[in-house]
Chain A
Amino acid sequence: MARGDKNSELLPGTLDLLILRALRGGSLHGYGIAERLRAVSDDVLQVGESSLYPALQRLLLDGYVRAEWGASENNRRARFYTLTAIGRKQLVAEQDEFERMVGAIRAVLRFA
Chain B
Amino acid sequence: MRFFRRVLYWLRFRAEQDDLREEIAQHRALVAAEFERRGLTADAARDAARRAMGNETSMREQARGVWLAPRLDAFLQDWRYSWRGLRHSPAFTLVAVTSLAVGIGANAAVFGLLDGLLLARVPVPSASQLIHLKRDLGPDGVDDRFSRSEFNALAAGPVSLAMFGSTFAPVEIDGVGANASTDVIDGRYFGVTGLRAERGRLISPADDEAAAPVVVLTDRFWRGRMNGDPNVIGKTITISGQRFSVIGVTPSGFAGLRFPAFAALFIPYRSAATLGVLPRADDRRQGLTVFGRLGASQSLEGAQGQLRALWDHCCAMGQLFTPAKGQTVVAARLVLDDVSRGIPHPKMDLRGMFGRVLWALMAGVGLLLLAACANVANLLLARGSARTGELAMRLALGASRARLAGQLVIESLQLSLLGAAAGGLLAWWGTKYLTAEHVGDLAMVVQPSVGPAVFLFTTVVSVASALAFGVAPAAHLVRGDLLSPLSQAGRRAVPGRRGVLDRGLVALQVALAVLLVSGATLLVQTLRNLQDTKLGFEPAQRLAITVETRATSYARQAMTAQMANEMLRRIRGIPGVRTAAFASLVPVYGGRTMTDNVTVPGAQAPSDGASTLFVGVTPDYFESLGMPLLTGHDIGPPVATLPRGAIRDVVVNDLFVKKFFGDHNPVGQVFRDADDGDTTFTEDRIVGVVAAAKFADARSPARPMYFVPINDGDWPFLVLVMRSSVDATIAASAGRTISAIAPGIGRGEPTSLAASIDAALTRERIAATLATLFGIIALSLVAVGLYGVMLYQVAARTTEIGIRVALGASPSAVVGLVLRQSLAIVAIGLAAGVPLALLAGRAVSSQLYGIQPYSLSALGVATIALFGVALAACLVPARRAVRIDPLAALRAS
Q: Could you tell me which A residues sit within 8 Å of B by CB distance?
A: 1, 3-4, 29-31, 34, 48-50, 53-54, 56-58, 60-63, 67, 69, 72, 74, 76-79
Tell which of B5, B26, B30 touches A61, judged by Cβ atoms closer than 8 Å: B5
Whole-angstrom CA separation of A3 from B54 in the bound complex: 13
- B54 contacts across to A, CB distance below 8 A: 4, 48-50
Contact between B27 and A31 (Cβ–Cβ < 8 Å)?
yes
Whole-angstrom CA separation of A30 from B58 in the bound complex: 17
In the complex, residue of chain A having the shortest beta-carbon distance to the beta carbon of B64 = A57
In the complex, residue of chain B having the shortest beta-carbon distance to the beta carbon of A60 = B5
Contact between B29 and A76 (Cβ–Cβ < 8 Å)?
yes
Contact between B53 and A54 (Cβ–Cβ < 8 Å)?
no
- A63 contacts across to B, CB distance below 8 A: 1-2, 5
Whole-angstrom CA separation of A31 from B58 in the bound complex: 18
CB proximity of B416 to chain A, nearest CB, Å: 30
Q: Could you tell me which B residues sit within 8 Å of A by CB distance?
A: 1-2, 5-6, 9, 19-20, 22-24, 26-27, 29-31, 33, 52-55, 58-60, 62-67, 73
In the complex, residue of chain A having the shortest beta-carbon distance to the beta carbon of B20 = A53
Interface of B is mostly: helix
The answer to whether residues A30 and B23 also contact, given A49-B59, A50-B62 and a CB cut-off of 8 A, is yes
In the complex, residue of chain A having the shortest beta-carbon distance to the beta carbon of B4 = A63
Whole-angstrom CA separation of A76 from B22 in the bound complex: 11
Which 9 residue pairs across A and B have the least CB separation, nearest first?
A57-B66, A31-B30, A54-B62, A57-B63, A79-B23, A31-B27, A50-B59, A54-B63, A58-B66
Tell which of B22, B27, B33, B62 touches A4, judged by Cβ atoms closer than 8 Å: B62
Contact between B5 and A4 (Cβ–Cβ < 8 Å)?
no
CB proximity of A41 to chain B, nearest CB, Å: 17
Whole-angstrom CA separation of A30 from B23 in the bound complex: 8
CB proximity of A59 to chain B, nearest CB, Å: 9
CB proximity of A48 to chain B, nearest CB, Å: 7
- A79 contacts across to B, CB distance below 8 A: 19, 22-23, 26
Interface centre among A54, A60, A77 (most CB of B within 10 A): A54
In the complex, residue of chain A having the shortest beta-carbon distance to the beta carbon of B54 = A50
In the complex, residue of chain B having the shortest beta-carbon distance to the beta carbon of A2 = B62
CB proximity of A15 to chain B, nearest CB, Å: 13
- B6 contacts across to A, CB distance below 8 A: 61
Contact between A77 and B22 (Cβ–Cβ < 8 Å)?
yes
Interface centre among B20, B27, B31, B53 (most CB of A within 10 A): B27
Contact between A4 and B59 (Cβ–Cβ < 8 Å)?
yes
- B63 contacts across to A, CB distance below 8 A: 53-54, 56-57
Whole-angstrom CA separation of A74 from B33 in the bound complex: 11
Contact between B62 and A77 (Cβ–Cβ < 8 Å)?
no
In the complex, residue of chain A having the shortest beta-carbon distance to the beta carbon of B60 = A53
CB proximity of B430 to chain A, nearest CB, Å: 46
Query: How many A-B residue pairs lie within 8 Å, measured between CB atoms?
Result: 79
Contact between B66 and A50 (Cβ–Cβ < 8 Å)?
no
In the complex, residue of chain A having the shortest beta-carbon distance to the beta carbon of B33 = A74
Whole-angstrom CA separation of A51 from B65 in the bound complex: 12
Contact between B58 and A50 (Cβ–Cβ < 8 Å)?
yes
**Besides A4-B58, A49-B24, 15 new A-B residue pairs in contact (Cβ under 8 A), listed by A number:** A1-B73, A4-B59, A31-B26, A49-B53, A49-B59, A50-B58, A53-B20, A54-B59, A54-B63, A54-B65, A57-B63, A57-B64, A61-B66, A63-B2, A77-B22
In the complex, residue of chain A having the shortest beta-carbon distance to the beta carbon of B59 = A50
- A48 contacts across to B, CB distance below 8 A: 54
CB proximity of B56 to chain A, nearest CB, Å: 8
Tell which of A4, A60, A77 touches B55, judged by Cβ atoms closer than 8 Å: A4
A selection of 15 A-B contacts at a CB cut-off of 8 Å is: A4-B59, A31-B26, A48-B54, A49-B53, A50-B54, A50-B58, A50-B62, A58-B66, A61-B5, A62-B2, A72-B30, A77-B22, A78-B23, A79-B22, A79-B26
In the complex, residue of chain B having the shortest beta-carbon distance to the beta carbon of A5 = B62
In the complex, residue of chain A having the shortest beta-carbon distance to the beta carbon of B19 = A79
The answer to whether residues A76 and B1 also contact, given A49-B53, A57-B63 and a CB cut-off of 8 A, is no
In the complex, residue of chain B having the shortest beta-carbon distance to the beta carbon of A6 = B54
Whole-angstrom CA separation of A62 from B6 in the bound complex: 10
In the complex, residue of chain A having the shortest beta-carbon distance to the beta carbon of B9 = A61
- B5 contacts across to A, CB distance below 8 A: 60-61, 63
Whole-angstrom CA separation of A58 from B62 in the bound complex: 10
- B2 contacts across to A, CB distance below 8 A: 61-63
CB proximity of A58 to chain B, nearest CB, Å: 5
- B23 contacts across to A, CB distance below 8 A: 29-30, 53, 78-79
Whole-angstrom CA separation of A56 from B59 in the bound complex: 12
Whole-angstrom CA separation of A71 from B65 in the bound complex: 28
Tell which of A4, A53, A60 touches B24, judged by Cβ atoms closer than 8 Å: A53
Contact between B66 and A76 (Cβ–Cβ < 8 Å)?
no
Whole-angstrom CA separation of A107 from B2 in the bound complex: 37
- B65 contacts across to A, CB distance below 8 A: 1, 54
CB proximity of B68 to chain A, nearest CB, Å: 9
Whole-angstrom CA separation of A57 from B24 in the bound complex: 13
Contact between B1 and A3 (Cβ–Cβ < 8 Å)?
no
Contact between B67 and A57 (Cβ–Cβ < 8 Å)?
yes
CB proximity of A95 to chain B, nearest CB, Å: 22
Contact between A1 and B27 (Cβ–Cβ < 8 Å)?
no
CB proximity of B256 to chain A, nearest CB, Å: 59
Whole-angstrom CA separation of A1 from B53 in the bound complex: 19
CB proximity of B145 to chain A, nearest CB, Å: 71
Whole-angstrom CA separation of A61 from B65 in the bound complex: 11
Contact between A72 and B26 (Cβ–Cβ < 8 Å)?
yes
Contact between A29 and B58 (Cβ–Cβ < 8 Å)?
no
- A57 contacts across to B, CB distance below 8 A: 20, 63-64, 66-67
Whole-angstrom CA separation of A67 from B19 in the bound complex: 10
Contact between A77 and B24 (Cβ–Cβ < 8 Å)?
no
Contact between B62 and A78 (Cβ–Cβ < 8 Å)?
no
- B27 contacts across to A, CB distance below 8 A: 29-31, 34, 49
- A74 contacts across to B, CB distance below 8 A: 33
Contact between A77 and B59 (Cβ–Cβ < 8 Å)?
no
Contact between A76 and B62 (Cβ–Cβ < 8 Å)?
no
CB proximity of A78 to chain B, nearest CB, Å: 5
The answer to whether residues A76 and B20 also contact, given A54-B65, A57-B66, A61-B5 and a CB cut-off of 8 A, is no
- A4 contacts across to B, CB distance below 8 A: 54-55, 58-59, 62
The answer to whether residues A54 and B66 also contact, given A31-B31, A61-B6, A76-B29 and a CB cut-off of 8 A, is yes
Tell which of A53, A69, A78 touches B59, judged by Cβ atoms closer than 8 Å: A53
Whole-angstrom CA separation of A30 from B20 in the bound complex: 11
CB proximity of B751 to chain A, nearest CB, Å: 71
CB proximity of A17 to chain B, nearest CB, Å: 17
Contact between A1 and B62 (Cβ–Cβ < 8 Å)?
yes
CB proximity of B736 to chain A, nearest CB, Å: 81
CB proximity of A87 to chain B, nearest CB, Å: 13
In the complex, residue of chain B having the shortest beta-carbon distance to the beta carbon of A86 = B1
CB proximity of A75 to chain B, nearest CB, Å: 12
In the complex, residue of chain B having the shortest beta-carbon distance to the beta carbon of A56 = B63
Whole-angstrom CA separation of A1 from B76 in the bound complex: 13
CB proximity of B50 to chain A, nearest CB, Å: 11
- A34 contacts across to B, CB distance below 8 A: 27
In the complex, residue of chain A having the shortest beta-carbon distance to the beta carbon of B55 = A50
- B55 contacts across to A, CB distance below 8 A: 4, 50
Whole-angstrom CA separation of A4 from B19 in the bound complex: 21
